[in-house]
Chain A
């Protein structure tokens, strides 16, 4: 059973169709890299999976539960609010610009949701938060506030915050796009570590080396559609698609 499966999802903003029937499938422990030019709908795809946007039609199943499916008229029908809420807890999201809560300390950024959403005790939540911070190499910064951290540190905290909810699949929306190359390396290192631990991940990224080396599957999106999907060797090495080859040529020359 796939952890995440979307089939034929469509999303329209005003007059423009941003997603034109996207189908992806991620098995447990797999890393799916979503690449493609800006404006191709990569972020929107993640936003639909995390329920920050609703789809117009298509189906999304997460951990065997149906979030949304097509009604008899072909339009999307969402499951009950309760089911949607439960499904949301299976999914974590790491944002491009971190979105840490500035008024909370690093520790509280991580513990707030486990305590008030999952009902963990403070001691329990703090113990596992410290564990995560240790893993992120930030044990000594638990009392700091986000504004006192570098971008790389902030992103590591936001990954810890997402992991604290124990998601079955973790989504990354261009997690390194707001960072300089050095800090980018830092975050990619953390993500490689998660992949090695068999964390199921969907990573929207412009870091082609990461996609090629770490992903089990690569999906190339353009203009709201999956142009090519397959193992990285196929997409990067012997793509039959003109557009994919053109997009990747700049990278392979580098």
Chain B
């Protein structure tokens, strides 16, 4: 087993893991906000389908969703996404549902008086949300969000079921060809380092928002 080659290939695979991680965050956070808005909509024609979407995403295995988005597209819709694209879409759709519920909890946790005070001062609904409500929501949802971010780092390994060459997939390949457990240990360290970084970011963010209450 050539250790240099092992590490370089695992670093390569880590890039794929990080790619899925960041693409998921970039798209699922705004989408989650939108889903949260739909979930809280007063019109049932909007909130009911959104509730069903959330149930579907949280109620079925992410692995199943990955398999469906890769193998199920061709027979049903006649289009075949590539592996990485299918994985990204599955992760975005899945995480948006979880993020939406976290956003909803955060938004509903802001006292009604905040919105009323803003309204009496003449702020539009949009201004009220983006200037008054959302900044406070961000502070309050940091702890549950850090959970999701950390889970996402580890969940990226599920993408191997549709053949995406992410960290754990490359690691298992090495383990079986080199008949050694060392790659597993290395992978563990890699995940740990990534999540230590995530944790650090959240600690910094909590500190940043710690200036009030």
**Which residues of chain A are within 8 angstroms of B132 by Cβ–Cβ distance?**
101
Interface string of B54-94 (1 = CB under 8 A from A): 00000000000000000000000000000000000000000
Please name all residues of chain B whose beta carbon is closer than 8 Å to the beta carbon of A37 when the two chains form the complex: none
Q: In the complex, what's the smallest C-beta–C-beta distance from A105 to chain B, in angstroms? A: 9
Q: Which of B18-26, B115-123, B182-190 lines the interface with chain A?
A: B115-123
* Extra contacts besides A52-B119, A117-B127 (16): CB < 8 Å: A50-B120, A93-B117, A99-B111, A100-B117, A102-B136, A102-B213, A103-B139, A112-B121, A113-B121, A116-B131, A117-B121, A118-B122, A145-B212, A145-B213, A158-B117, A165-B121
State the main secondary structure of chain B at its contact with A. Answer: helix
Contact for A92 among B119, B120, B127, B131, CB less than 8 A: B120
Q: Indicate the member of A97, A103, A147 with the most B CB atoms within 10 Å.
A: A103
Q: Which of B114, B116, B117, B209 has the most CB of A within 10 A?
A: B117
Let me know if A85 is at the binding interface, CB within 8 A: yes
A195 partner residues in chain B, CB cutoff 8 A = none
A interface bracket (residues with beta carbon within 8 Å of B)? 20 to 34
Q: Which residue of A lies closest to B134 (CB)?
A: A103
Complexed CA–CA distance, A251 and B146 (Å): 55
A99–B113 contact, CB under 8 A? yes
Which of A85, A103, A161 touches B212 (beta carbons < 8 Å)? A103
Which B residue's beta carbon lies closest to that of A100? B117
* Residue ID in chain B nearest A161 by CB atoms: B121
- A91 and B213 within 8 A (CB): no
Per-residue B-contact encoding for A83-122, CB less than 8 Å = 1, 0 else: 0010011011101010111110000000011001110000
Chain B contact patch, size range: 20 to 34
From the candidates B111, B122, B209, B212, name the one contacting A117 in the complex (CB within 8 A).
B122
Q: Please give, as numbers and ranges, the residues of chain B lying within 8 Å of A113 by CB-CB distance.
A: 121-123
Whether A146 is near chain B, meaning CB under 8 Å from some CB there, is: yes
Docked Cα-Cα span, A103 to B123, in Å, equals: 16
Residues of chain B within 8 A (CB-CB) of A99 are 111, 113-114, 116-117
A144 to chain B: closest CB distance in Å?
10
CB pair A88–B135 under 8 Å, yes or no, is: no
On chain A, the residues within 8 Å of B131 by CB distance are: 112, 116
Is B211 located at the chain interface by the 8 A CB criterion? yes
Instruction: Point out residues on A near B: beta carbons under 8 Å.
Output: 50-52, 85, 88-89, 91-93, 95, 97, 99-103, 112-113, 116-118, 145-147, 158, 161-162, 165
Chain B residue, CB-CB nearest to A50: B120
B195-213 contacts to A (CB < 8 Å): 209, 211-213
Cβ contacts under 8 Å, B114 to chain A: 99, 101
Residues from chain A with Cβ under 8 Å of B113 in the complex: 95, 97, 99
Given the interface pairs A102-B136, A103-B136, A145-B212, the reply to whether A117 lies near B116 with Cβ below 8 Å is no
In the assembled complex, which residues on chain A have CB atoms less than 8 Å from the CB atom of B118? Answer: 101
Q: How far is the CA of A88 from the CA of B121 in the complex (A)?
A: 8
List 12 contacting pairs A-B, 8 Å CB cutoff, sorted by A: A51-B119, A52-B120, A88-B119, A93-B117, A99-B113, A99-B116, A103-B139, A103-B209, A117-B123, A117-B127, A145-B211, A147-B212
